[in-house]
Amino acid sequence: MLVKILDIVIAGLLMGGIYALIAVGLSLQFGVARVLNIAHGEFIMLGAFITWWFYTRVGINPLVSLAICGPILFTVGFVLYRTLFTRLRTSSPSPAAFEGNSMLACFGLLFIIQNVAILVWGAEMKGYSYLALPVNFGGAIFAANRLTTLGFAIVIGSVFYLFLARTRLGKAIRAAAQDPATAGFMGVNINQVLALCFGFGALMAGFGGTLISMSYNIQPTMGLEYTIIALIVIVLGGLGSIPGSFIGGLVLGLVGSIVTYTEPGLSLVAYYVIFMLLLLVRPTGILGK
Amino acid sequence: MGIATFTTKRSLLSGSMILIILFLLATLPLYARGYTVVLLSSIFMYIIITVSWTIFSGPTGYISLAPAAFFGVGIYTSALLGKAISLPIVICIGALASFCLALLVGALTLRLRGIYFVMFTFGLVELLLHFVLWWEVNITGTTGRVVSTMGNTAVYYIMLIIFVILVITATLIKHSKFGLALQSIGECEEAAAHTGINVTALKTITFAISAFFIGAAGATMATRWTYIDPRIAFNPLISFMPVLMAIFGGMGQLYGPIIGAALLTYLEEFLITRFPYYYMLIFGIIMVVAILYLPNGLVGLIQRWRKGGLKRRHADT
């Protein structure tokens, strides 16, 4: 019995770590840059495929790929914001109009990225085996790659949190999150900061993709599911809150693991039920104001 | 010539134009090839979904991603009842089921503003999809079902009828106090509420009316597909397409979404068999370009061009 509980809890935490990481990215993009990036999952997919491609073709270790995928996706995100979204932001009459327009532009991006990926890599499922060793955890057995994933997710999340809390740029980002206009008056180069945030969001998605590809099969159409999970997590944790995203991710991972144990196949339904109840009862999330 | 006679002449002209087009569409199956009828039914399907979407989301600015849910409810009604009851009644039941679902969802969620509403409606589609999928795997034991079919011409005529009723409804809403109230909600919801508009009730009813037609279209189209499963019925693409088509066509005028839906459906039919992946890619590019450069869609472009033409004429005289 105890082993079973341990089994469920650890499986939930392992899944929750990835959820948290990808949610932090979306939270930055939506909470600060005000772009509800429906294409977030496509950036995750890109990260996963670049890692897979490097590992199977060139033989680069997936953990080294983290250092390659991150910067690539950061650049893509940064450039996208500087070109597409900055233009939309200046041409939209109100912040609410920008939220709507940028989300719709992200739909366009979703179609573009997904279908380019299908053209380049094909629509089939891909996967590779890396660190698939069993690790015994007080009777419960887990693959080493999943534990590595959780470890990296926690490290990346914490480093990013410290960056936001302690550095000058982090302060500028937090100021922009609270009030972009006032932050601009205080000398924050607002276009630059928002673009950086969007880039960091894509960076997190890239890290998430690399880690996901280590233990799960990947496919060009995998993105939407992760986008939805990230959305649920940021609503659960409160929009724009990094610790909230982490707690939300772990909670959702645990819920998923419990539901999968009792009634496999209903875990996604359970996510949506939680999501919709939250939106109705407490749209600001657990840690929201 | 007075302005009054000019406008009556003009409305007479556009009225007779509409009658001629309707006559052509109604007699089309008599002389057109079978494929044209099938193609036009698909075009009507997207036009109905897009115009219904625009009735609610156009004036209010609430972006709904729920059309796939209502469409799927229509499809499932048809699949479950199609064998037992005659089709017109099945279509009405499908439409009413969608209507009721929309009333429920609307009453619950239309308090949510902006992006929360978008997320909720999108979640609804996925919730229904996964629930029905789970239900079929675990309770019924079979995924997917066969739908009793009817002829392509019958589907075409039913879609045409739904389309005509929808256009009349949309026009009536647009030119009534009702439509004005919706417009004011889109401009400023607080101000609208303060002028005495029952904001929540109005939004809910309009949302349900738009769901009614989408459900009817779903129930009709199901008979053409012969086989359906949850992933076909609750395809999120059905939610994205009307948004794309309405933005591409422009939401300022009723004919905007119609043109947008017709053009893009034709493009889809044209590309899907030849380049199945390129077509979604092209749709993505159209979406981004439309949002960046065509804020009012094709309608805005036409109006700007006409205005430019008029100005030049004034300058000449």
Q: What is the DSSP letter of A220?
A: G
Distance from CA of B112 to the nearest CA of A (A): 8
CB contact under 8 A, B119 and A100: no
Contacts of A87 in chain B (CB under 8 A): 292
Here the ipTM equals 0.83
Is A265 in contact with B134 (Cβ distance < 8 A)? yes
Give SS3 for A283.
coil
Q: What is the DSSP letter of A141?
A: E
Would you state the pLDDT for residue B5?
56
Domain boundaries, chain A: 2-281
Residue type, A257: S
Of the candidates B174, B211, B181, B212, the one whose C-alpha atom is nearest the C-alpha of residue B199 is B181
Residue A40 has a pLDDT of 93
Cβ distance of A112 and B138 shorter than 8 Å: no
Q: Is A193 exposed, middle or buried (0-12, 13-18, 19+ CB in 10 A)?
A: buried
What pTM was estimated for this model as a whole? 0.85
Burial B49-62 (b: 16+ CB within 10 A, else e): bbbbbbbbbbbbbb
Distance from C-alpha of B232 to C-alpha of B135, rounded to nearest angstrom = 16
Instruction: In chain A, count H helices and then E strands.
Output: 12, 2
pLDDT in tens, B179-201: 899 888 888 888 888 988 888 89
CB-based contact (8 Å) between A9 and chain B?
no
The type of residue at A26 is L
Q: Of the candidates A99, A101, A276, which has its C-beta nearest B120's C-beta?
A: A276
Topology classification of domain A2-281: ABC transporter involved in vitamin B12 uptake, BtuC (1.10.3470)
Chain B interface includes A112 (CB < 8 A): yes
Mutate to test the interface with A, among B277, B286, B293 (most CBs of A within 10 A): B277
Residues of A in contact with B248 (CB under 8 A): none
Q: Indicate the DSSP class of residue B228.
A: E
Tens of pLDDT, residue by residue over A240-251, are 778 888 888 988
Ranges of chain A with pLDDT below 50: none
- pLDDT tens by residue, B20-72: 888 888 887 778 777 888 889 999 999 999 999 999 988 888 889 999 999 99
- Closest residue on chain B to A111 (Cα): B284
Among B108, B236, B285, the residue with its CB nearest the CB of A280 is B108
Q: What are phi and psi of B84, to 5 degrees?
A: -90, -40
Looking at chain A, which residue has its C-alpha nearest residue B57?
A: A100
Asked if B119 lies within 8 A of A235 by C-beta distance, the reply is yes
Interchain CB contact of A277 with B (< 8 Å)? no
Cβ distance B127 to A272 less than 8 Å, yes or no, reads: yes
On whether the CB atoms of residues B97 and B215 are closer than 8 A, the answer is yes
Q: How far does A228 lie from chain B, in Å, by closest CA? A: 8
Distances from the Cα of B178 to the Cαs of A4, B67, B168, B198, in angstroms? 59, 22, 14, 11
